[in-house]
Structure 1
Amino acid sequence: MTEDSAASALAAWLERIEAMHPTEIELGLERIHQVACRLGVDAMPVPVITVAGTNGKGSTLRLMQVLAERHGRRVCLYTSPHLHRFNERVRLPGGLASDQQLCEAFEQVERARQDVSLTYFEFSTLAALLLFRQSEGDLVLLEVGLGGRLDAVNIVDPNVAVVTSVGLDHQDWLGDTREAIAREKCGIARPGRPLIFGEADWPHNLPALADSYGVEPVFAGREFRLNEQGVTLCDGRELGFPGMVTLGRDNLATACQALALVGVPVTTQDCAAVADVALFGRCEFRQLQGHLCWFDVGHNLAAVTRFLQLLPPCEGRRHLVFGMMADKPIDEVVALFAGQSVSWHLAAPAMARAASPSRLAAALPAQAQCRQYESVSEALRGALDAAQSSDQVLIFGSFYTVAEARGEQGG
């Protein structure tokens, strides 16, 4: 299969599996477990770390990947969603899965599913697990798509379960309190195995959840502690951290603790080496047309709050390229910029669920400087044209907003 034909075949497969199931999301493990057993991917022959959480999953997984690879581990990594290419979701020890490898895995999943209906995410998860089993990987890292207990990746028993944080998001599916959402996310834990909770601000029911699941609790602020110098792990080892970590000192602490529990001996030198590791769309800095720009996929209140905390001070004005899904907390996010010198450049990503520019504009203060655009690409160009040398350009609000803006600039 040539490179072009493989790309065409993959595009056809993705279109097919997207149309295969009547709904985009259907939580529950019975259907996918049937197919996983036929494929032999319901268990992995190597250690597995599964990561759930409202925010911080991608950053923590990226740090774990790089740290483990520094110690010679052959890492398999499954994440979602992707920004530009589906292949970004499936990383094998040699790099991203190729179009041909994905097509071959999809063919095997299609044969094994028989008359079982699978969602896009379930089909993708099975293909990723199949490639991981066929690889020479010796560590598997899995990101939960939505929730935890009923998410497709939860068909595999993890050696270590990680919940990075719990906030209010996807409330129609997971519940409308932190405690209810924590119950769903902690459902990735297994009896007698470690459950890491990476946020020092626990939901009130977290200790009771750990008891009910029969896990070994490893909680931030108790079993492991982040401080100004670094982190003290649950075994008493101390690792020094740099003052600044691009993907967050708390995420680095969680990553170090998880890897320690599967036998990867992270050192202070390793932590210093990954301080500048970045990830697409996570407070990602780029210089465009001479202007300082940051991209961030945060799409809930906690994530955007963290994005603002990570940014350097701005001497001039901030130009905000903003697009968000209609079911997200638009008004609350807009309120985070109250009192700041900002101009709004509003656009809807090319998604049915996206809020219209007029809906975004309705959330702004009456005197706000604002322009509405037909596309994210146009909004970014408008922001860059308006920015002065001392200004910042922020592109945020959704994975889709960031993907379209980065695509405009060549990915």
Structure 2
Amino acid sequence: MAEISSSAPAVTASLQEWLTYLEKLHPKNIDMGLERVARVAANAGVLKPAALVITVSGTNGKGSTVCYLETILQAAGYTTGVYTSPHITEYRERVRVNAQELPDSEHVKAFHAIEQARNNTSLTYFEFGTLAALWLMGRQSPDVAILEVGLGGRLDAVNCVDADVAVVTSIGIDHIAFLGNNREHIGYEKAGIARSGKPLICGEASPTASIAESAERIGAKLYQVGRDFHRTEYDESWSYRSQNTQLNDLPLPKLPLINASTAIAAIEQLPLPVSLSAIREGITQASLPGRMQPDTVNGIEVLLDVAHNPQAAVYASRYLNKFYPQHKIFAVVGMLSDKDHAGVANALSSQASAWYLGSLSEPRGETADNLVINAKLPTESCYLFESVEQAFAAAVTAAQQWQMNDGKALVFGFGSFYTVARINAYLKGA
């Protein structure tokens, strides 16, 4: 694959100049395969970013699982490096060292180092950023690196690093152009992050056979939720149980509980002692922007979530039913064109009373006109807008009118990372 000709910015250039350069560096946004990125990783010396590495793949729940791992290990006194994607507001969100984002200048140094190491090897934006994140972590030598897989697993750039513990959170139908259109094949791709002789933690309640088959073929030791570790939820607490561990009176988290238990199962496989108090503290502290993120505007409650596939939408529906049972839901939606619009809308149809659809102008962004058709929504309860911001403003106005006369209202924005980013910016007056 030929590189698009362009001169690299200087090490004194701005972060934005480098990001613009990365966007133009490769002919494709996504180019699955490890040969190119592994070669550059070896040249850059970034294949061992920490003493221990946890790699996390899955359709949903990757971000919250990574967050639980980070907060629990931090509470236990260990140093961490974290890589996630995509970002919501700014690029620096993608890398955290010891729970802190790094300044622009550090990212620029990392980009410059990878540019020197790649020797004209063509890299995508994601591949370049992944290698830069590994370089940043390597300079700090954290106790544990926690790496979120971007897409798939087996052929994802993150998989150039050998995981000491691999995690598969869930299997759903998404990114079918790259991963296949059935759960068995997607499970095969996700489980490709496992390594021989190392643990593979599966937090999928209904796992595909391909996960166990992959673990056996690779020689990884599979730990399966419902078989090797369990959770029990109570009204005001929950418990975790495995063959060697029993944890009681754990605090109910802000993020999905299933991913908290998956994170604990992964931590059990590390050669690091972690106390019950650290686990409790880490669970309490875990939160993420864009994951059931609460806010208020003009007296109206707002909830934002990046849910963009049916599996995530089902969780969102249950969350709304549990925490907002008396609210009239005004749904603000913006989605990409390659998502399951009808599946997402159907999962939330019993919760949303009115739909405010906004067009997304980003790459692969869907128009509101197409979204209402693809999602098979009732036209009498849908309102279409040229942007997510306009849709959100209209939903807030309608919610205010409802709340003045009839009861509680909630504006729920979801459908894409772009949607949450746009609403966040709107709320900040950007």
Cα distance, 1:315 vs. partner?
1.9
Alignment CA distance shift 1:138-1:402 (3 Å): same
Structure 1 segment 117-136 matched on structure 2, within 5 A: 117-136=122-141
| Aligned-partner Cα distance in 2 for 1:407–1:8 | 26
Cα distance, 1:308 vs. partner?
1.5
Please identify, of 110-119 and 361-370, the stretch whose mean Cα deviation from structure 2 is larger.
Answer: 361-370
Alignment CA distance shift 1:155-1:316 (3 Å): closer
Structure 2 residue aligned with 1:36: 41
Q: 1:279 aligns with which of 273, 279, 288?
A: 288
Please give the TM-score of this superposition, normalised by the length of structure 2.
Answer: 0.90
Structure 1 segment 253-292 matched on structure 2, within 5 A: 253-273=261-281, 274-275=283-284, 277-292=286-301
Structure 2 residue aligned with 1:21: 26
Deviation readout 1:354-387 (Å, 9 max, x if unpaired):
1111112223444532211121111111111110
Deviation readout 1:309-338 (Å, 9 max, x if unpaired):
122133242101001111111112222233
Structure 2 residue aligned with 1:330: 341
Alignment CA distance shift 1:136-1:205 (3 Å): closer
Native 8 Å contact 1:239 1:267 kept in 2: no
Give the match's secondary structure for 2:153.
coil
Structure 1 residue aligned with 2:396: 384
| Aligned-partner Cα distance in 2 for 1:67–1:243 | 13
Q: 2:102 aligns with which of 94, 97, 103?
A: 97
Give the match's secondary structure for 1:275.
helix
Native 8 Å contact 2:80 2:142 kept in 1: yes
Structure 1 segment 37-76 matched on structure 2, within 5 A: 37-76=42-81
| Aligned-partner Cα distance in 2 for 1:386–1:373 | 14
Structure 2 residue aligned with 1:405: 423
Structure 2 residue aligned with 1:83: 88
Structure 1 segment 165-204 matched on structure 2, within 5 A: 165-204=170-209
Q: Does residue 164 of the first structure (1) align with residue 169 of the second (2)?
A: yes
Quick one: which amino acid aligns to residue 36 of structure 1? A
Give the match's secondary structure for 1:42.
coil
Cα distance, 1:288 vs. partner?
1.9
Give the match's secondary structure for 1:225.
strand
Q: Does residue 300 of the first structure (1) align with residue 296 of the second (2)?
A: no
| Aligned-partner Cα distance in 1 for 2:359–2:86 | 18
Cα distance, 1:127 vs. partner?
0.7
Cα distance, 1:175 vs. partner?
1.2
| Aligned-partner Cα distance in 1 for 2:225–2:302 | 32
Native 8 Å contact 2:50 2:142 kept in 1: no
Cα distance, 1:8 vs. partner?
6.4
Native 8 Å contact 1:225 1:232 kept in 2: yes
| Aligned-partner Cα distance in 2 for 1:45–1:296 | 31
Deviation readout 1:268-290 (Å, 9 max, x if unpaired):
43344323632111111112221
Cα distance, 1:98 vs. partner?
1.1
Give the match's secondary structure for 2:87.
coil
Structure 2 residue aligned with 1:351: 362
Q: 1:395 aligns with which of 384, 388, 413?
A: 413
Native 8 Å contact 1:6 1:99 kept in 2: no
Give the match's secondary structure for 2:14.
helix
Deviation readout 1:153-173 (Å, 9 max, x if unpaired):
111101000000111111111
Deviation readout 1:59-89 (Å, 9 max, x if unpaired):
0001110100001111100000000110000
| Aligned-partner Cα distance in 2 for 1:24–1:188 | 22
Please identify, of 348-357 and 80-89, the stretch whose mean Cα deviation from structure 2 is larger.
Answer: 348-357
Q: Does residue 138 of the first structure (1) align with residue 143 of the second (2)?
A: yes
Cα distance, 1:267 vs. partner?
4.1
Please identify, of 221-230 and 192-201, the stretch whose mean Cα deviation from structure 2 is larger.
Answer: 221-230
Please identify, of 68-77 and 236-245, the stretch whose mean Cα deviation from structure 2 is larger.
Answer: 236-245
Structure 1 residue aligned with 2:3: none
Between the two proteins, the alignment pairs up a number of residues equal to 406
Native 8 Å contact 1:240 1:271 kept in 2: no
Native 8 Å contact 2:251 2:280 kept in 1: no
| Aligned-partner Cα distance in 1 for 2:124–2:24 | 9
| Aligned-partner Cα distance in 1 for 2:382–2:103 | 43
| Aligned-partner Cα distance in 1 for 2:239–2:308 | 29
Deviation readout 1:87-141 (Å, 9 max, x if unpaired):
0001112611210001011111111111200000110011111111111411100
Please identify, of 179-188 and 368-377, the stretch whose mean Cα deviation from structure 2 is larger.
Answer: 368-377
Quick one: which amino acid aligns to residue 62 of structure 1? C
Deviation readout 1:5-54 (Å, 9 max, x if unpaired):
99961000000011000000001111111111111112235100000000
Structure 1 residue aligned with 2:387: 375
Native 8 Å contact 2:329 2:409 kept in 1: yes
| Aligned-partner Cα distance in 2 for 1:187–1:145 | 13
> Aligned Cα RMSD in Å?
1.9
Structure 1 segment 230-241 matched on structure 2, within 5 A: 230-234=239-243, 236-241=244-249
Please give the TM-score of this superposition, normalised by the length of structure 1.
Answer: 0.94
Quick one: which amino acid aligns to residue 111 of structure 1? Q
Quick one: which amino acid aligns to residue 384 of structure 2? Q
Quick one: which amino acid aligns to residue 204 of structure 2? E
Alignment CA distance shift 1:73-1:128 (3 Å): same
Structure 2 residues not aligned, in runs of 5+: 1-9
Alignment CA distance shift 1:45-1:356 (3 Å): closer
